[in-house]
Amino acid sequence: MSEQDDGLFDLDGRADPVAGPPDGAPRGGRRRLIAIALGAAAVVAAVAVAISTATAAPARPVAAGTTSPATALATSSAPASTTSAAPVKEPPAPETPPTVYADPAALADLHAVAATLTTRLTLTSPATWDKWLPAGKPYPGKDTADDLSTCPRLAGRLGAALGTKMSYWVGTLPEGPYGCQWATVPLYSGPNAANYPYLASVGFLGDGTTSEGLAGGFYHHQGRLCPDVAVPSVGKGAYLVRCEDLDGLSYVLVLRDTRTSGVWVLSGMARSDAAHAATDVLRPVIAGAAATFG
């Protein structure tokens, strides 16, 4: 399958997305992508889990004074004061930093996968992207061809590796953290988006976000941070992240751009009942990104 077979939806660009999955197909149980917290040069908040650890104590009521009946009678006939004391409030409780969640088996898996990434990877963003940075390329663009024009051609490579038909789905570059995304065919639109067995993406951030900060900001579906590990064999500032979704697993490789201070984000996701693992999705993404931007 040619690297050029990256047309919209049906690879040849002729088919439109199906309105929704058939009754027997899984429905929107899978979020499109794992949650991630992002900020300019720092990780600041979770995007999809809607969980906040910062809580403010309610305002403490002003203590009621005790008065004798005579005093109460005397003060009741006095003119009302035109001022009142400001309510006393407790200071906000300190934020509790989110914790990394991973059982020993998951950590062992993360380190085992990281040990297989032995090839140095150097990705260089095109100079033509500078006109969109640091904000990123506007999406959606004037048409799908415009959105797809900056994406690597990965549908054929992914399909060959996974034994199923894959297509460009949504997104563009430079944009992040997920940028250009691919999914299994047929693609679906509308509220009942399909629970795709495989998802892949290539993203690029040029807003000052660091690879270290980004790698430490991915969240499991429970709202706890996903574990990550440095992979110096891939490059300085490269990290591998492992995240568990409700019904699958995701691996994300984060690394620095060689031309700018930007960060590349390469990801592969696989449903737990899929024939191939998430690492089988990630590897062709890495190879395809290297072939295009290496």
Residue 90 has pLDDT above 90, yes or no: no
Q: Please, which contacts does 287-290 make with residues 24 or more away whose CB atoms are closer than 8 Å?
A: 287/157, 288/3, 288/152, 288/153, 288/154, 288/157, 288/158, 288/202, 289/121, 289/123, 289/152, 289/202, 289/264, 290/121, 290/123
Residue 66 structure tokens: 């005790």
Q: How confident is the model at residue 245 (pLDDT cuts 50, 70, 90)?
A: confident
Average pLDDT over residues 274-294: 98
Of the candidates 117, 172, 164, 118, the one whose C-alpha atom is nearest the C-alpha of residue 142 is 172
State phi, psi for 84 to the nearest 5 degrees.
Answer: -140, 150
| Range in 1-10, 169-178, 252-261 the model is least confident about | 1-10
Nearby residues of 239 by Cβ (< 8 Å), 6 or more positions away:
211, 212, 214, 215, 228, 229, 230, 231, 253, 254, 255
Angle at 186 (CA atoms; ends 180, 191), nearest 5 degrees: 80
Answer with the residue of higher pLDDT: 238 or 83: 238
Residues in the chain: 294
39: three-class secondary structure by DSSP: coil
How far is residue 188's CA from residue 173's CA, in Å, rounded to a whole number? 22
Residue 11 has pLDDT above 80, yes or no: no
Residue 36 has pLDDT above 90, yes or no: no
Average pLDDT over residues 120-144: 97
How far is residue 216's CA from residue 214's CA, in Å, rounded to a whole number? 5
Residue 6 structure tokens: 């990256």
pLDDT at position 35, please? 56
Of the candidates 121, 221, 132, the one whose C-alpha atom is nearest the C-alpha of residue 176 is 132
pLDDT at position 95, please? 56
pLDDT at position 17, please? 53
pLDDT at position 263, please? 98
pTM metric for this prediction: 0.74
Answer with the residue of higher pLDDT: 210 or 62: 210
| Range in 19-33, 43-57, 116-130, 144-158 the model is least confident about | 43-57
How far is residue 230's CA from residue 215's CA, in Å, rounded to a whole number? 9
35 and 47 in contact (C-beta within 8 Å)? yes
Answer with the residue of higher pLDDT: 125 or 91: 125
pLDDT at position 100, please? 79
43 and 210 in contact (C-beta within 8 Å)? no
pLDDT at position 253, please? 98
| Range in 78-92, 95-109, 111-125 the model is least confident about | 78-92
**What residue ranges do the domains of the chain occupy?**
103-293
Of the candidates 186, 187, 178, 185, the one whose C-alpha atom is nearest the C-alpha of residue 252 is 178
pLDDT at position 194, please? 67
Q: Which residue has the tokens 């110096």?
A: 232
pLDDT at position 83, please? 46
pLDDT at position 190, please? 64
Answer with the residue of higher pLDDT: 258 or 86: 258
The 3-state secondary structure of 98-137, one letter per residue: CCECCCHHHHHHHHHHHHHCCCCCCECCCHHHHHCCCCCC
The DSSP 8-state label assigned to residue 212 in this structure reads H
